[in-house]
Structure 1
């Protein structure tokens, strides 16, 4: 059974707000003694990759903290969707990013990378940096999804538009510079994003030598961030949270199913089959349109191929949680891991990717990395799989501030943190 009011009425979350995090009492502490959080986003880092590649810094963080066997992404297992769920603690049905480029039937618009990142209409919920700012704590964000938009009339104290080509070394140096100068300007919550593993895994496959090299590269930058905090005397009071948005499956060109003949291009809206890469194979499609056209497509697709599943609106598994009121699709077509769908008649453009994500969020290959180390985490423990909507509450607890109501489970957060963040 769905709980559409959970983000408003979650008694458990409100209890956590009252017990785990009270208004900050640390203003009398020396700046280096004040609790802070550094969240590091490593796009596409599947849960098993830090153990397969050369990743001594990630492994060292895990040894002095908690590493999850798997962190379940929200559905669909795409980048924009999941980095925003990590930031807000909300399922897509509540924060509204139901795809990398969602369509809104009420607005009759599709999100675009040109204008969408700074358009507040697309970004619901309360990201952790806004929660921090509301409680008087400065935040600084480098390229986290949602940070460009004004939320509740606010931004992080530091933020900047996304620069895909900004060198990683410059990113690291800039993040560490935030903790230099006047201590009054040091962020209490900071976040930084790296895409390298995702890019390499897309082009070469998730188990390729190139992907392993990408893991080693971002591991080096994680090590620099840790050493930079240590050199500034901030490591012992900083909770470091390393998260990925999703995992990755290997796809092959012989596992592509053409479903274009079953879709009425004139009456149906299919964002994944639109735009520059509309001809590319896709792990899923979200379909919008009138009831008759949807029903016709559904009847033709539901038994078309054993490697795809099809649902109409309101019929998807409960744990998918992306049936947003104005953005949830009227029909959802999902391939099994390793397979893709396409519609040749919609266009021949695009490209084939060897590494693909977007599949069922509980599929093993979609499992994302989670590593947490610092004051709120026990040492050297392995956590059972959990949903990424719990990360927001961990960050709020580490900062000592009340969380906004979320879809996370305080009992899960308590278990992962060894009861440093109480369950009630």
Structure 2
């Protein structure tokens, strides 16, 4: 575990700073909203009854892991936090982004995550994995964090949260976030109808039950717990794999995100030639396979119609259940990444329980850029004016002092 030295200067930080109720944010990657009804996870259903939940948490475009996790933790759309996809090209940096690249090149990330916002207001943050949590912001890292190790057991992650809460008050984090990938892994590898996915959900739900029991025993319910996911999951038709490479002339850079092709080119004639070929191949029989869009005429809800070094000149956007061939390996039976407005199967979850949240309340679906304002209000932080989210949802569900 990477631990930053914490220096407390007497008189600078008021006692009330450390007396705030701790808040834990858990992200269950790939946990679709429809899994709740389909698989009936007992612990999650119990939490829904106890606290506030949303009918759905709506992903930002594209419904990929990294842009959505960073939107959740910054309250910004991808164009404003910098992580536009799991893979994309940046003209100014002259590089293709790969997941986790911020730890070596901090300029990829252009908005502050909550762990830094929290510490800037005199508190302590801890992170047990989160997309881009290893990216320094102004040369700073959260007080406690772990470099990402995909196969670290979920139980180990949850136990460390308990260990952090057991720390003395002057070194204990008031904000803790943690990330879990096992359900996303099962969904990708085995599909939504698989026993493997059912077992992954059941196993995590039981670990969550044990974790909550410890919270109750040791901290007398004086902990706020927020559970989110980044996106849902939808089936792939294994016959719907699009071979596209012969449609790209020289002079056009393509980044293949599986559900999107991002096209970049300074040669407008070459780009147009490629787009004409894509338009000719849009249909497979009567079935439309994808949409072709060019900057600055992207759908408004994508929030990509402004000049930015990473925004592509054109996007070939696959329709569910099509994907663009990666040219190697087997095709997953389920995936995500599509425009979230095209399928409710991509909806994610939001559940909040604890002293800060109203009990037994279900609210309408909302976009995940609204999560950050909820968290800052629950943490007692100052309201932020440099985010894309607002405080309307927070005012519905976070109790006032």
Q: Note the C-alpha offset of 1:51.
A: 2.6
Partner Cα separation in structure 2 for residue 413 and residue 150 of structure 1: 28
Q: Does 1:292 align with 2:274?
A: no
User: Is the Cα–Cα contact under 8 Å of residues 261 and 317 in structure 2 kept in the other structure?
Assistant: yes
Q: Note the C-alpha offset of 1:153.
A: 2.9
Partner Cα separation in structure 2 for residue 224 and residue 102 of structure 1: 40
- Name stretches of at least 5 consecutive residues in structure 2 with no aligned partner: 1-11, 283-287
Q: Note the C-alpha offset of 1:194.
A: 0.5
Moved more, 245-254 or 200-209: 200-209
Q: Note the C-alpha offset of 1:102.
A: 2.5
Classify 1:260/1:142 alpha carbon distance in 2 versus 1 (closer, same or farther; 3 Å).
same
Q: Does 1:331 align with 2:314?
A: yes
Q: Note the C-alpha offset of 1:114.
A: 7.0
| Pairs aligned (count) | 381
The equivalent position to 1:398 in structure 2, one of 378, 383, 392, is: 378
- Give the corresponding residue for 1:358: 337
- Give the corresponding residue for 1:389: 369
Q: Does 1:27 align with 2:15?
A: yes
Alignment of 1:38-117 (within 5 A): 38-113=24-99, 115-117=101-103
3-state SS in 2 of match to 1:199: helix
Deviations 1:289-333 (A, max 9, x none): 122222222222235222210101111111112456011111111
Classify 1:322/1:163 alpha carbon distance in 2 versus 1 (closer, same or farther; 3 Å).
farther
Q: Does 1:408 align with 2:392?
A: no
- Give the corresponding residue for 1:260: 245
Q: Does 1:377 align with 2:357?
A: yes
Deviations 1:29-67 (A, max 9, x none): 8x6x52221000100000111232241111111111122
- Give the corresponding residue for 2:279: 302
Deviations 1:145-180 (A, max 9, x none): 121111123211101210112122211111211111
Q: Aligned Cα RMSD in Å?
A: 2.1
Partner Cα separation in structure 1 for residue 100 and residue 360 of structure 2: 43
Deviations 1:316-351 (A, max 9, x none): 1111124560111111111111111237xxxx3233
User: Is the Cα–Cα contact under 8 Å of residues 247 and 274 in structure 2 kept in the other structure?
Assistant: yes
Alignment of 1:340-359 (within 5 A): 340-342=323-325, 348-359=327-338
Q: Does 1:272 align with 2:263?
A: no
- Give the corresponding residue for 2:226: 241
User: Is the Cα–Cα contact under 8 Å of residues 51 and 59 in structure 1 kept in the other structure?
Assistant: no
Alignment of 1:87-236 (within 5 A): 87-113=73-99, 115-233=101-219, 235-236=221-222
- Give the corresponding residue for 2:285: none
User: Is the Cα–Cα contact under 8 Å of residues 128 and 145 in structure 2 kept in the other structure?
Assistant: yes
Classify 1:118/1:226 alpha carbon distance in 2 versus 1 (closer, same or farther; 3 Å).
farther
Partner Cα separation in structure 1 for residue 82 and residue 128 of structure 2: 22
3-state SS in 2 of match to 1:235: coil
Q: TM-score, normalised by structure 1?
A: 0.85
Partner Cα separation in structure 1 for residue 187 and residue 101 of structure 2: 27
Partner Cα separation in structure 1 for residue 114 and residue 383 of structure 2: 8
Partner Cα separation in structure 2 for residue 71 and residue 28 of structure 1: 32
Partner Cα separation in structure 1 for residue 51 and residue 100 of structure 2: 39
Partner Cα separation in structure 2 for residue 105 and residue 46 of structure 1: 34
Q: Note the C-alpha offset of 1:393.
A: 0.6
Classify 1:115/1:68 alpha carbon distance in 2 versus 1 (closer, same or farther; 3 Å).
closer
